[in-house]
Amino acid sequence: MSAPRLLRLARVRGFAPARPSVRCYATIEIKPNLSYLEPTHPDSVVPPATQSLIADHSEYLLNTYVRPPLLFTHGKGLTLTDSSGRQYLDFTAGIAVTALGHSDDGVNKVISEQSAKLSHASNIYWNEWAGELAKSLVENTRQHGGLGLGSGKEGAGEGGKVFFSNSGTEANEGALKFARAYGKTISEDKTGIVCFTNAFHGRSMGALSVTPNPKYQAPFAPLIPGVRVGEYNEMDEGKINELIDEKTCGVIVEPIQGEGGVGEGKKGWFELVAKRCREVGAVLIYDEIQCGLFRSGTMWAHSDFPAVAQPDIVTMAKPLSNGFPIGAILVRSSVAATISPGMHGTTFGGQPLATAIGVHVISRLSDPEFIHSLRSVSAHLDRLITRLPALFPSVLKDEVRGRGLIRGLAFKDESKPAELVRLARERGVLLLTAGKDAVRLVPALVVSEEECDQAVGVIESCLHLIAQNKA
């Protein structure tokens, strides 16, 4: 690495003066944190009672997950405690779900009070919370940016409607249905759907059909017809115009691909895609199930996109009720107008307990002080991880993906992400893989700078072991 680059990295971490002389280049050395070389939480240490329980449950649970022999019994904030009493720093947030951390006092209070009153009635009747959460989502989107609902002239006359589901997959399934319904108001054969490489939109048949990964799709083929797959971030306007044609009813894409490797779309590319959607009358769907609701640092990862690149539908789920199952589809009024009673429905979606929690969560996440704190900690995490490729050039690609609190470390060897996850877990930090070549960092949005220091310290020790072939 060049001396100037080393100097810049040193300044970021506070290891160099603001105006050093040229002579100090040769003496600057940035070293990784090697405080966590020895495993403290080995997977092999499992209480006999836990081993017995796992063996018993394995006889009854359908085998669709490969799990380490860990059984978590309780949690608080970013800490999870297993059946042997060991504490883990959770940098997964239940796969980007527990935005306010585990067992949050405010969420617990809402659950207790609302469940004592009414958990479920049905969508045959009104309840007091579904409409409040829909209003909060629309008005906060108008305030913070997104869906074309700007507070200025560009958002004048625009409105939004919300449909509640039980999960992110169901939200995407509904969004695809809405796009089909809208397309048929233009032409009966306007039914084509476009998705992009490395996408992950869910595992139901419709959502799976726009998740172009053979590992997920092959066992369940044939899938729904009429789906085309484009290249994510393909800047050739001619190819985009060929991909999205007059028979396309909907285009679904993630502004930041969570499961697909934490790749981020270029604003210029989204402008081209959105422009083509407007030309042919296709509904543009942004899947923000993982990157939305302030995880990227703004309410939506597309909040600061130019007006031309704003979507027609936004799907969300994971953090909306801090772990209580819920999903939602936020739809521009012009598209919502084509959906009439009986065209879509749900048994559990929009129930009072889930939406009461959602109102509380959104009120917390959208608080200006919370956003300021989130951005400050995000900047701290960014300073920590941007030096990792220079520290471990034999292991990591020269890039750090994502923004805010959805970040990805890209590996040169695709076998190494899972190895880092294992090594970190055995040192008390929980991480996720993402796509073929990345490790994902998606902590709760209440993470502290000290917790970031600990997590990255463990990561540095583990990367050192990998680089030295000592894992």
Closest CA to 411 of 425, 401, 402: 401
Query: Quick one: 359 and 383 in the same domain?
Result: no
- Number of domains the chain is built from: 3
Helix, strand, or coil (residue 134): helix
pLDDT attached to residue 374: 98
CA dist., res. 88 & res. 329, Å (int): 34
Q: Do you find a cis peptide bond into 222, omega within 30 degrees of 0?
A: yes
Sheet with 87-90: strands ordered across? 72-76, 79-82, 87-90, 429-430
Query: 206-211 — which CB contacts under 8 Å span 24+ positions?
Result: 206/172, 206/173, 206/176, 206/177, 207/169, 207/172, 207/173, 207/176, 210/172, 210/176, 210/252
Query: Quick one: 340 and 195 in the same domain?
Result: yes
104 in any annotated domain:
no
Query: Quick one: 231 and 358 in the same domain?
Result: yes
pLDDT mean over 318-332: 98
Q: Phi/psi of residue 410, each to 5°?
A: -100, 130
CA 219 to chain centre: 25
pLDDT attached to residue 415: 96
- pLDDT tens digits along 38-69: 999 999 999 999 999 999 999 999 999 999 99
- pLDDT tens digits along 345-357: 999 999 999 999 9
Q: Residue 211: which pLDDT band, with cuts at 50, 70 and 90?
A: very high
284's enclosing H/E stretch is: strand 283-287
160 touches 255 (CB < 8 A): no
CA dist., res. 225 & res. 244, Å (int): 15
CA dist., res. 207 & res. 186, Å (int): 23
- pLDDT tens digits along 415-439: 999 999 999 999 999 999 999 999 9
Considering the chain, what percentage of its residues have pLDDT values greater than 90? 91
- pLDDT tens digits along 232-266: 999 999 999 999 999 999 999 999 999 999 999 99
Please give the C-alpha separations between residue 45 and each of 19, 51, 58, 59, 63, in angstroms, as whole numbers. Answer: 51, 10, 19, 22, 23
pLDDT attached to residue 153: 53
Please give the C-alpha separations between residue 68 and each of 36, 112, 238, 312, in angstroms, as whole numbers. Answer: 20, 32, 47, 41
Closest CA to 325 of 174, 200, 169: 169
pLDDT attached to residue 21: 37
Between CA 68 and CA 70, with CA 69 as vertex, the angle to 5 degrees is 95
pLDDT at 5 over 50: no
Query: Quick one: 379 and 312 in the same domain?
Result: no
Query: Quick one: 338 and 438 in the same domain?
Result: no
pTM, to two decimals = 0.92
35 in any annotated domain:
no
Query: Quick one: 334 and 415 in the same domain?
Result: no
Outline where 87-213 has alpha helix (H).
93-96, 105-117, 130-144, 168-186, 205-209
Query: Quick one: 174 and 227 in the same domain?
Result: yes
344 in any annotated domain:
yes
**Domain CATH for 253:** 3.40.640.10
- pLDDT tens digits along 97-112: 999 999 999 999 999 9
Closest CA to 446 of 376, 355, 356, 358: 376
37 in any annotated domain:
no
Q: Residue 30: which pLDDT band, with cuts at 50, 70 and 90?
A: confident
CA dist., res. 276 & res. 274, Å (int): 5
276 touches 250 (CB < 8 A): no
Query: Quick one: 183 and 310 in the same domain?
Result: yes
- pLDDT tens digits along 393-410: 999 999 999 999 999 999
Instruction: Considering only residues 306 and 154, tell me which one the structure prediction assigns the higher pLDDT.
Output: 306
Closest CA to 82 of 35, 49, 36: 49
Helix, strand, or coil (residue 100): coil
Instruction: Considering only residues 3 and 159, tell me which one the structure prediction assigns the higher pLDDT.
Output: 159
- Those residues whose C-beta lies under 8 Å from the C-beta of residue 177, and which sit 6 or more positions away, are 206, 343, 344
Closest CA to 273 of 262, 260, 263, 286: 286
Query: Quick one: 408 and 383 in the same domain?
Result: yes
303 touches 314 (CB < 8 A): no
153 in any annotated domain:
no
pLDDT attached to residue 24: 37
pLDDT at 300 over 80: yes
Range of the domain at 12: 1-30
pLDDT at 9 over 70: no
Helix, strand, or coil (residue 303): coil
Query: Quick one: 339 and 433 in the same domain?
Result: no
Distance from the first to the final alpha carbon of the chain: 25
CA dist., res. 312 & res. 314, Å (int): 7
Query: Quick one: 15 and 52 in the same domain?
Result: no
pLDDT attached to residue 150: 74
pLDDT at 413 over 80: yes
pLDDT attached to residue 26: 42
**Domain CATH for 71:** 3.90.1150.10
Q: Residue 22: which pLDDT band, with cuts at 50, 70 and 90?
A: very low
Considering the chain, what percentage of its residues have pLDDT values greater than 70? 92
162 in any annotated domain:
no
pLDDT at 15 over 80: no
pLDDT attached to residue 4: 36
Strand partners, 264: 256
Query: Quick one: 199 and 288 in the same domain?
Result: yes
193 in any annotated domain:
yes
307: its two tokens: 């007006």
